[in-house]
Structure 1
Amino acid sequence: MTELNLPSYSIETELGNSRSDSAPVPDAISTIPVAQPAPDDKPARPHRRRSWAEPYKIKVVEPLKITTRAERERAIAEAGYNTFLLRSEDVYIDLLTDSGTAAMSDYQWAGMMMGDESYAGSKNFYNLEEKIQKYYGYSYIIPTHQGRGAENILSQILIKPGDYVPGNMYFTTTRLHQELAGGTFVDVIIDEAHDPASLHPFKGNIDLQKLTDTIDRVGAARIPYISVAGTVNMAGGQPMSMANMREVYQIAQRYGIRIILDATRAVENAYFIQQREADYHHQTIAAILREFCAYTDGCTMSGKKDALVNIGGWLALNDPELYEEASNLVVIYEGLHTYGGMAGRDMEAMARGIEESVQDEHIRARVGQVEYLGQKLIDWKIPVVVPIGGHAIYLDAKAFLPHIPQDYFPAQRLAAELYLEAGIRTMERGIVSAGRNKETGDHYYPNLELVRLTIPRRVYTQAHMDLTAEAVEEVYYNRDRLEGLMMIHEPKYLRFFQARFALKSPVS
């Protein structure tokens, strides 16, 4: 691989923000100098750091239900030890996902009242289209009910049986759509992404040698596109550098292959570029996002993440012929090409959410809250994926529960125990999520066996993060008491959503 010219990076965070020493620090959270002028009767103030706070205030609250241990034991048993099958009313702090769980702003709620629910040609669609074109830079926009709707349409128009899709680590729904269309996903992410302890600042990078080797092996004609995610969810929310994106683009141009971006958390990726690549310290998030997308030919998007809404997504393309084909398919699977499965009010909320998502103070606080929780766990020597990612903390279940073999689903067991301990719902990202090889029927055994603590945007307070950290520490202290699980029900597709488990003692 080409060696990147990256700034120095430390896993230690500064007031919730990973930054290089040369990065600008906003006035509101700047450090106080070691020695300041002081009156004669006062000693000089010691060196310290000021606290930072979220750039919003709370206007509406939702009461939470606090359950007893006995109630949680019944609930998790009824759910087959699968946190997806818990009732939300039985959950205290819900860190299952950041998908569709954000708190919308007063600006977005006001937009909801301006929904144009016309079946065709809603004005809200044109508002959404304008915002995507402005901030992401793509020419043609096809709204969908959420990201997987866009993945389905993209796979049908581009992938043929026998094709190969190289990418920087799989994502569950993306890979399934590729496989259902007859394609095979090929992981070309750098090796550091599979090491939870590696401090590489851009573990989402594509290994350029792996990519070119794949192209030379299968032939460019059998690669409909290179699948790029920013950030990489299954690697721990790890970002991709602008330098690497640019190099991948140059390879794609040389071979005549498209690049399709999973833009779900591309704003968070832009934040890490701003913090960790020297050339981008003084650029805005909006400018970085626009440049990153310019190295791609289209994107799929779940607006339920970065765009701060509860439902919705889109497929964006620059090729007019592909757009024509996709806009025809959206009518079959989603809805008319000017609403694509969304109400007008939802499109307006998403258009306004896009505006808010690229504001530097918003994304700094969003990632800062994640880093706050992660740093507490690091300080307490609890094994997590480092560097801390943009949307979640990932517990390293292999290191957390080394006595439970991967066949007995240690990450699934750990997620269940966190719920039992404090009513905190998290998600398994390991062998269960990886699924089975469609040819052999054997489990995939990923190197990463993780539990994801996903932080919804603008929802929880610092006190919730403190409680979560304390619950994780308590489970870690008592980890030797935990048994493994056995799977007693397995769905055909995406089994992590609906599989059921029962307690099982580890193999002696």
Structure 2
Amino acid sequence: MLPPYRIKVVEPIAFLSAEQRRMAIASAGYNPFNLRADQITIDLLSDSGTGATSDAQEAVAALGDESYAGARSWFRFRDQVGSLTGYPFILPVHQGRAGERVLFSNLLKPGQICVSNTHFDTTHANVELVGARPVDLPCAEAADLDSSEPFKGNIDLDALEHLLDGPDGGKVGLVLMTITNNGLGAQPVSMANLKATSELCRRHRIPFFLDAARFAENAWLVHEREPAYRDMAPRQIATTAFGYADGCVVSLKKDGLSAVGGFIGLRDEQLHAACEANLIATEGFSTYGGLAGHDLERLAQGLREVVDPWYLQARAASTARMAQLINDAGVDTVQPAGIHALYLNAGRLLPHLSPAQFPGHALGCQLYLDGGIRCAELGSLYLGAMDENHQLVTPAPFELVRLAIPRRVYTDTHLEYVAAILADIAKDPERVSGYRIVSAPPILRHFKVRLEPLT
């Protein structure tokens, strides 16, 4: 699929020698998060804030109004978001986790439960920081990484209803649906599942919100995989999805096509007032929320561009092609391919490594050592339960590696290079060694953990 754009500005990338890469990863404590950006050849660590802006976005940025309150840029941003979501109350924030903090502190109380199809890392942490308990209820189909089920991002409706009807039902303070389901292989959520969840929450008078960082990509996969929406445009599908919820929290560093930004969308005026007070005290006045005027302009334009079906089709096709190349090289990925990332089945590729030796992390390190490729582990290092000595007690259900693909940044040739490096690893996987933890923080361990290879 031909991308519906051409490249006008380029940036050089680094090509370190094998010895330079070995020294760099050792100095970083074998944690890719600690590597310098100029030590990376292909950076697939995250799709958050790493995309390329368009000429139209940079043009409107010049119109940015930096007035402290009531800037023209705010009203253009507010109108665009309001038109897309249908929510009457919009609060800007500098990124999604700021929105989570503001929203959760006003929706959740200590001892309550937040239910999700899957909480991602910072969402999980922000729920716990307000004293609530995150509970994941992914659908049963998500457990089969190889199946072609089209909507493995869905929430388990039977499990949700059982929870709400059971003794802990009164403790549920929020149901939060992540679209797409980043923690479970970039899998989409169907409109049927969203609608049924909305009806269930309404019946039990539980607030239902969307974590909609990748709302446009979810809409495209709905367009492709859910027959009832085949003839509906991605923007219309997205608006319909927002309509099922009481509100949303969105990181616009993904489908906002920008390096910074986010928003909280709300229907309830009283909740808006409470969140607005928190926002003003901690993020900035309610017409900028920690963002500059030029950021608001880029975001408003980015929200127009991201729902373009030609753009979404080309991005999805590029990811699918990369998945096929990787699979042909003998490395399994979570099926079917999503859009923003591919998830490698490291546990299957490296069966000689136990979960306690962190095969996902080992594969990620090997990708850097062999090819200068940076990515993120989503296995037992990230999700496993550890004791006070950093020994694995409960492993993650799967040992995965996420290759997150920035928007409008890499060509198919770059992605072919990644597949080629993986193919070389797959020819002799037993040369990949495991790792042990040297030190780790008590929360969000994977960001600042330091490790060393096992001999």
TM class, shorter-chain normalised?
A: over 0.9
Match of 1:455 in 2: 405
Question: Quick one: which of 419, 426, 430 aligns to 1:480?
Answer: 430
- Give structure 1 regions of 4+ aligned residues with deviation exceeding 6 angstroms: 437-442
Instruction: Answer whether contact 2:329 2:422 (CA < 8 A) is retained.
Output: no
Letter in 2 for 1:122: A
Match of 1:93 in 2: 42
Deviation at 1:428, TM superposition (A): 0.8
Match of 1:11 in 2: none
Instruction: Answer whether contact 1:231 1:390 (CA < 8 A) is retained.
Output: no
* CA distance 1:373–1:407, shift in 2 (3 Å): same
Deviation at 1:190, TM superposition (A): 0.8
Deviation at 1:270, TM superposition (A): 0.5
Match of 1:294 in 2: 243
Aligned pairs for 1:306-317 within 5 A? 306-317=255-266
Per-residue CA distance 1:131-161 (angstroms, 9 max, x = gap) = 1111122111111110000000111001111
SS in 1 for 2:288: coil
Aligned pairs for 1:87-236 within 5 A? 87-236=36-185
SS in 2 for 1:224: strand
Letter in 2 for 1:473: A
Instruction: Answer whether contact 2:387 2:393 (CA < 8 A) is retained.
Output: no
Question: Quick one: which of 497, 502, 506 aligns to 2:447?
Answer: 497
Per-residue CA distance 1:393-442 (angstroms, 9 max, x = gap) = 11011101111111111111110100111111111111222254799997
Greater Cα radius of gyration, structure 1 or 2? 1
TM-score of the two chains, using structure 1 as the length reference: 0.87
Instruction: Answer whether contact 1:91 1:424 (CA < 8 A) is retained.
Output: yes
Distance 1:410 1:72 in 2: 20
Match of 1:5 in 2: none
Distance 2:193 2:243 in 1: 13
Match of 2:377 in 1: 428
Distance 2:395 2:264 in 1: 31
Report whether the alignment pairs 1:465 with 2:393: no
Distance 2:86 2:400 in 1: 34
Distance 2:355 2:286 in 1: 45
Per-residue CA distance 1:301-345 (angstroms, 9 max, x = gap) = 110001100011111111000000000000122111111111110
Distance 2:373 2:170 in 1: 47
Instruction: Answer whether contact 2:330 2:426 (CA < 8 A) is retained.
Output: no
* CA distance 1:474–1:438, shift in 2 (3 Å): closer
Moved more, 365-374 or 95-104: 365-374
Letter in 2 for 1:209: D
> Unaligned regions of 5+ residues in structure 2, if any?
none
Per-residue CA distance 1:446-483 (angstroms, 9 max, x = gap) = 21211111110000111101111101111111211111
Instruction: Answer whether contact 1:302 1:312 (CA < 8 A) is retained.
Output: yes
Question: Quick one: which of 289, 303, 312 aligns to 1:363?
Answer: 312
* CA distance 1:409–1:249, shift in 2 (3 Å): same
Letter in 2 for 1:177: N
Deviation at 1:198, TM superposition (A): 2.3
Distance 1:188 1:437 in 2: 22
Question: More helix by proportion, 1 or 2?
Answer: 2
Instruction: Answer whether contact 1:298 1:315 (CA < 8 A) is retained.
Output: yes
C-alpha RMSD of the superposition: 1.6
TM-score of the two chains, using structure 2 as the length reference: 0.97
SS in 2 for 1:96: coil
Deviation at 1:389, TM superposition (A): 1.2
Aligned pairs for 1:322-333 within 5 A? 322-333=271-282
Report whether the alignment pairs 1:394 with 2:343: yes
Distance 2:37 2:384 in 1: 25
Percentage identity across paired residues of the two chains: 39
Distance 2:393 2:104 in 1: 24
Letter in 1 for 2:198: Y
Distance 2:291 2:306 in 1: 20
SS in 1 for 2:56: helix
SS in 1 for 2:118: coil
Aligned pairs for 1:4-153 within 5 A? 52-153=1-102
Per-residue CA distance 1:169-207 (angstroms, 9 max, x = gap) = 121111111111111111111122133212211001111
